[in-house]
Each structure stands twice: as structure tokens, then as C-alpha cells.
């Protein structure tokens, strides 16, 4: 939450901006707390949604009469729709986290939320994966989660960045949540998705901790808020395209390398046949470490390695 500069004196030290200065010059932020706070919300919403699915155990809509255009996730349960949950949580959180920090009319955010949410929700009905009741439940469940946990998001993000033992706590907590979710039901695609979400969240949180403690995470001083967007120039556009290309290539390389390492290693450690990778991954002993470690490194790369590369070559 952003507090106006006029209230800074009343708030005391709690409003001191989380920034570092190197050689007296303010460095452009390599990892915005807005992004890491959004990830905290995304992980929480998706994890609770996936676990709730496996507790309620409502099947997908029957086909016929539904025509299913997507069958890969047919083994998952249906209630609530986690797509509806993420499609609700992300746009609402983006508006809550950015309005007051950036200069833009609030009406833009109020238009974004229903458009984003409705497109995602309607797509799940169109694909035959969810009923209208699943969508409504996912939407209302997300509103409840945000109402309860959003006030604590900034505290969680601040803890992740500043606490001395934050990486150990982050890794241990996310791993424990992954083990718990794998015991809820037999293997399905949601097991791998849950481990992937938790691993990504842990990696991003650990990456933000490292960048903060290296003095590379900066928030602007309160008297500069709200910030105006930079003018769109060919130079800025070129940097953006270059950042996308470099970032995607680096992240894909990290994912492929970690995948080739973790799956055979887990199979070897737990004495599981590795001839059929798809079948081997249905074992918790393989799926959990593979997803958790691989996407943990992907998340760490997104918040540390890739932004540091951008900073090093001058395209931050």
C-alpha cells in the first residue's frame, strides 16, 4: 500500500522507502516489490484453489452434453475453477498494487478487471472444462482470499526481502505445502501444477531476497509518487524487445537444463525406473523435486539472474 508523502511524518519509520544508494546515485530497480507482491498473491490463490479442488472432488462437466475442446487436464477436479481464481486475482491485485504508484486514470483499472476476468472465465466454459457454478465459486473464493490476506501481502514481501533467515523459511514452507498437497489425492496434472506454482513462488521470493541484500532493489521515495510512465521512443521499444528475447532464452535454457538434471537424479535416488519419463513423473518422489527445483530456479532467474544481466549490459 502506498501512503502519501504528507502522511510520512505521522507514520514514522514504517514508511521509510526500501531503497539503497550506490556511490550516491539512485540505481534503477532491478526487481520491483510490486512484482513480488503480485506473485505472493498468485501463489496463495492458486495453492488454495488447487487444494480445495482435491478436497471437494467434484468431477469435470460430463461429456456429452458438454463438448470438451481440452482433454489434457480432464483428470483434474472441477470445483472451484483455478483459472477463474487467477483471472480474478491478478487484475484486481495489479490495480490495487499500482494505483497510487503510477499515474493513470482509475477508470482504466476498473475496465481492465471485468474484461480480463470475464474473458478467462468464459474461455473455461467454452473449452468445456468448467460449469458456470465452478466459475462463480472460483470468483467468490478469490474475493474472500483477497479480503483476508491482501492486508498482509506487503508484510510478507518485506519479510522475504529483509529477514536474515527468509530463504530457509521460504524454501521449507513451500516444500512442506507441496508435500501436503501431494497427499490429498492420487496423482493428477494438478499435482505437478501445484509443485510448479510453489517452486516458482519460492524461487522468486529467494531471488528478491538476494537482490535486496545486494542493494539492487529500490523503491522510489514517497515524495516522487505517483510515477509517470516514460515516453515511448524507439530506443525504449528496442530495449523492451531485447529484454524479452534475452529473458525468454535464458529462462528456457535454465528450465531445460534443470529438467534434464532433476528427473534422472530423482529416479536414481528413489530407485524408480526412468525408461518412461511420463510414468516416472507420476511418483511424488520424482514429480515434486523435479517441479519444485526446476521452477524454483526459473523463478530465481527471473528475479535475480535475468535482471542482473539487464543491468550489466545497460538495458534495465
Residue of 130, 174, 209, 283 with catalytic role: 130
Cell of 79: 470445483
Report d(CA 27, CA 44) in Å as an integer: 31
Cβ–Cβ under 8 Å, residues 192 and 294: no
| 83 noted as active-site residue | yes
Distance CA 222, CA 295 (A): 34
Nearest residue to 8 (alpha-carbon basis) of 162, 224, 159: 224
**Are 170 and 202 in contact, with CB atoms under 8 Å apart?**
yes
The question of whether 283 is a catalytic residue gets the answer: no
The residues, any chain, with a CB within 8 Å of residue 299's CB and separated by 6 or more, are: 39, 199, 200, 201, 202, 203, 204, 205, 206, 207
Catalytic residue among 83, 163, 174, 283: 83
Catalytic annotation, residues? 83, 130
Amino acid at each position: 500500500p502506498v501512503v502519501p508523502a504528507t502522511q510520512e511524518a505521522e507514520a514514522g519509520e514504517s514508511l521509510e522507502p526500501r531503497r539503497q544508494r550506490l556511490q550516491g546515485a539512485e540505481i534503477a530497480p532491478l526487481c520491483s516489490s510490486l512484482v513480488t507482491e503480485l506473485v505472493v498473491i498468485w501463489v496463495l490463490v492458486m495453492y488454495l484453489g488447487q487444494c480445495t479442488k482435491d478436497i471437494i472432488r467434484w468431477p469435470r462437466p460430463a461429456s456429452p452434453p458438454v463438448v470438451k475442446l481440452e482433454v489434457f487436464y480432464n483428470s483434474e477436479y472441477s470445483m472451484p475453477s483455478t483459472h477463474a481464481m487467477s483471472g480474478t486475482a491478478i487484475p484486481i491485485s495489479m490495480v490495487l498494487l499500482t494505483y497510487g504508484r503510477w499515474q493513470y486514470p482509475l477508470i482504466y483499472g476498473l475496465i481492465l478487471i471485468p474484461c480480463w476476468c470475464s474473458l478467462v472465465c468464459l474461455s473455461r466454459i467454452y473449452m468445456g472444462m468448467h460449469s458456470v457454478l465452478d466459475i462463480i465459486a472460483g470468483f467468490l473464493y478469490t474475493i474472500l482470499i483477497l479480503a483476508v490476506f491482501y492486508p498482509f501481502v506487503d508484510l510478507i514481501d518485506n519479510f522475504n526481502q529483509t529477514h536474515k533467515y527468509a530463504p530457509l523459511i521460504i524454501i521449507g514452507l513451500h516444500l512442506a505445502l507441496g508435500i501436503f498437497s501431494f497427499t490429498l489425492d492420487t496423482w493428477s496434472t494438478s499435482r505437478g501444477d501445484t509443485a510448479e506454482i510453489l517452486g516458482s513462488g519460492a524461487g522468486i521470493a529467494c531471488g528478491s531476497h538476494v537482490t535486496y541484500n545486494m542493494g539492487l532493489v529500490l523503491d522510489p521515495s514517497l515524495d516522487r509518487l505517483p510515477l509517470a510512465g516514460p515516453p515511448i521512443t524507439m530506443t525504449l521499444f528496442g530495449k523492451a524487445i531485447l529484454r524479452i528475447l534475452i529473458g525468454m532464452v535464458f529462462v528456457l535454457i535454465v528450465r531445460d537444463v534443470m529438467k534434464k538434471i532433476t528427473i534422472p537424479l530423482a529416479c536414481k535416488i528413489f530407485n524408480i525406473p526412468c525408461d518412461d519419463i511420463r510414468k516416472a513423473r507420476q511418483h511424488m518422489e520424482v514429480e515434486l523435486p523435479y517441479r519444485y527445483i526446476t521452477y524454483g530456479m526459473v523463478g530465481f532467474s527471473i528475479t535475480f539472474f535475468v535482471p542482473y544481466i539487464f543491468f550489466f549490459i545497460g538495458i534495465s
